């Protein structure tokens, strides 16, 4: 008996016009992602294996050990969340915030505001204290806010990607202990490129991403939780409201039991393991010094070209530099010119800084003397074409 063919709503002949994917060559010198290290790309291309395979189970432990080194922590619960940095960001809040908890957020940029939004969605009582975008908080300002709001969690951004500010951390952890609250820290643009000491600074919750200082494509979100934060998690009155990011469940997979939770992105963890191995091979202090050296060369070069940097030098991130767009110049047109004609990506401003700054990233594999020379040369040769002519063709 003949079977009737299904009535397809999409014509297969149209789909035949698609060619195999071919990605244009790009040098990613924006706020992220950065270019992945070639060895990481090789690791990503290895054939997949099962997420409970004994080889993969051993590799999971290696990833955790290497992450602890990168973060300088002995936290047992240190894992790469299956998701981008924003998933790890949400995990810090989902696991520790209960309804009516007071969460105090230091807002001096776009990603402080994202913490405010996320914490509010978990029905926290969210309070903020603020600084202009381009400045950092003093220890005195933080203590005043802690006294006033008496939070259960203080959330801050170590490396504010929107502004290029690196928040000084000395003494903040001690203040949080004094006022009996957890310290939650965004390290998305600092991990691997900026001195970072989770245990020494008494940080209780931190998150990052795979695609910046670690030179791996986006897709994993490093997460770490201290014993103090674990205690708060275990004392919850109800379940963590986000099943996928529930660390009490994920711990059974990443802990000694290795109980299935979800299908892990195996190849992404191959890449993460390789990126962290390369960082350990270079050595943290050497990596931090390389990022600082290249950033200082970039800063000096940009000032020599007559450009103003948005952040004062002692607060600048070595991984992300904000450059003020000269008055009357179309900053977006210039960025598109570099991308379309030279394959070089730089970023524009976010939020309060939209249209007023460019963001230049030198992260991980991309933080090199050669790349500094390249971007400075492009600014020197191409920027004069745009000055006084915002309608310059790209």
In a domain, 105, yes or no: yes
Beta bridge mates, 104: 127, 154
pLDDT band at 363 (very low <50, low <70, confident <90, very high): very high
What are the residues whose beta carbons fall under 8 Å from the beta carbon of 350, sequence distance 6 or more?
A: 109, 110, 161, 162
Beta bridge mates, 126: 103
Alpha-carbon span 16 to 39, nearest angstrom: 34
pLDDT band at 13 (very low <50, low <70, confident <90, very high): confident
In a domain, 392, yes or no: no
Task: Summarize the confidence of residues 268-285 as an average pLDDT.
Answer: 98
pLDDT at 4: 66
Four-CA torsion 380, 384, 387, 389, nearest 10 degrees = -140
pLDDT at 389: 56
Alpha-carbon span 344 to 29, nearest angstrom: 7
pLDDT band at 221 (very low <50, low <70, confident <90, very high): very high
**Mean pLDDT of the residues in the chain:** 94
pLDDT at 12: 73
pLDDT at 393: 39
Task: Summarize the confidence of residues 302-313 as an average pLDDT.
Answer: 98
Last residue of a domain, one of 281, 296, 325: 281
Give pLDDT tens digits for 74-103. Answer: 999 999 999 999 999 999 999 999 999 999
Percentage of residues in the chain having pLDDT higher than 70 = 96
pLDDT at 354: 96
| 143 and 238 co-located in one domain | yes
In a domain, 390, yes or no: no
Alpha-carbon span 158 to 191, nearest angstrom: 10
Is the pLDDT at 374 greater than 80, yes or no? yes
Is the pLDDT at 15 greater than 80, yes or no? no
| 154 and 82 co-located in one domain | yes
pLDDT at 16: 73
| 324 and 350 co-located in one domain | yes
In a domain, 366, yes or no: yes
Last residue of a domain, one of 215, 247, 281: 281
What domain count does the chain have?
A: 2
| 203 and 271 co-located in one domain | yes
| 270 and 365 co-located in one domain | no
pTM: 0.94
pLDDT at 1: 54
| 310 and 256 co-located in one domain | no
pLDDT at 137: 98
pLDDT at 6: 67
Alpha-carbon span 96 to 235, nearest angstrom: 9
Task: Summarize the confidence of residues 157-179 as an average pLDDT.
Answer: 98
Alpha-carbon span 332 to 362, nearest angstrom: 20
- The domain containing residue 76 runs over which residues? 38-281
Higher pLDDT, 6 or 125: 125
Which DSSP string corresponds to 28-89?
E-SSSPPPPPHHHHHHHTSPP--TT-HHHHHHHHHHHHHHHHHHT---SEEEEEES-HHHHH
| 49 and 189 co-located in one domain | yes
| 271 and 133 co-located in one domain | yes
pLDDT at 2: 56
- Provide, for the chain, the percentages of residues in helix, strand and coil under a 3-state DSSP scheme, each rounded to the nearest 5: 40, 15, 45
Alpha-carbon span 230 to 75, nearest angstrom: 10
Last residue of a domain, one of 281, 298, 328: 281
In a domain, 188, yes or no: yes
In a domain, 312, yes or no: yes
Percentage of residues in the chain having pLDDT higher than 90 = 89
Task: Specify whether the CB–CB gap between 316 and 164 falls below 8 A.
Answer: yes
| 113 and 255 co-located in one domain | yes
Give pLDDT tens digits for 323-351. Answer: 999 999 999 999 999 999 999 999 999 99
pLDDT at 11: 72
| 176 and 314 co-located in one domain | no
| 229 and 328 co-located in one domain | no
pLDDT band at 391 (very low <50, low <70, confident <90, very high): very low
Task: Summarize the confidence of residues 171-179 as an average pLDDT.
Answer: 98
């Amino acid at each position: 008996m003949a079977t009737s063919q299904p009535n397809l709503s999409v014509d297969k002949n149209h789909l035949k016009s698609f060619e195999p994917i071919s990605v244009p060559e790009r040098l990613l010198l924006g706020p992220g992602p950065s270019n992945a290290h070639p060895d990481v790309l090789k690791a990503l291309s290895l054939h997949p294996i099962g997420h409970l395979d004994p080889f993969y189970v051993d590799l999971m432990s290696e990833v955790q050990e290497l992450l602890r080194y990168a973060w300088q922590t002995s936290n047992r619960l240190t894992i790469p969340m299956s998701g981008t940095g924003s998933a790890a960001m949400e995990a810090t809040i989902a696991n520790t915030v209960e309804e009516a908890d007071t969460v105090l957020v230091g807002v001096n940029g776009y990603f402080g505001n994202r913490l405010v939004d996320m914490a509010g969605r978990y029905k926290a009582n969210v309070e903020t204290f603020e600084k202009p975008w381009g400045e950092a908080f003093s220890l005195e300002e933080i203590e005043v806010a802690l006294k006033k709001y008496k939070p259960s969690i203080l959330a801050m951004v170590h490396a504010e990607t929107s502004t290029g500010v690196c928040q000084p951390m000395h003494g903040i952890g001690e203040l949080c202990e004094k006022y009996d609250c957890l310290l939650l820290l965004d390290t998305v643009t600092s991990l691997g490129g900026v001195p970072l000491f989770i245990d020494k600074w008494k940080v209780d919750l931190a998150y990052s991403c795979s695609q910046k200082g670690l030179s791996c494509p986006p897709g994993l979100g490093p997460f770490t939780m201290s014993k103090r934060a674990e205690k708060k998690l275990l004392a919850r009155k109800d379940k963590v409201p986000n099943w996928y990011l529930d660390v009490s469940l994920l711990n059974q997979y990443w802990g000694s039991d290795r109980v299935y939770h979800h299908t892990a992105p195996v190849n992404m963890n191959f890449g993460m393991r390789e990126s962290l191995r390369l960082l350990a091979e270079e050595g943290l202090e050497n990596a931090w010094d390389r990022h600082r050296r290249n950033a200082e060369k970039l800063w000096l070069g940009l000032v020599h070209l007559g450009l103003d940097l948005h952040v004062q030098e002692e607060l600048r991130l070595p991984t992300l530099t904000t450059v003020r767009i000269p008055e009357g110049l179309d900053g977006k047109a210039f960025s598109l010119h570099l991308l379309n004609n030279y394959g070089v990506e730089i970023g524009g401003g976010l939020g309060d800084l939209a249209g007023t700054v460019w963001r230049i990233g030198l992260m991980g594999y991309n933080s090199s003397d050669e790349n500094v020379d390249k971007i400075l040369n492009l600014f020197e040769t191409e920027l004069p074409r745009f000055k006084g002519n915002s309608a310059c063709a790209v």
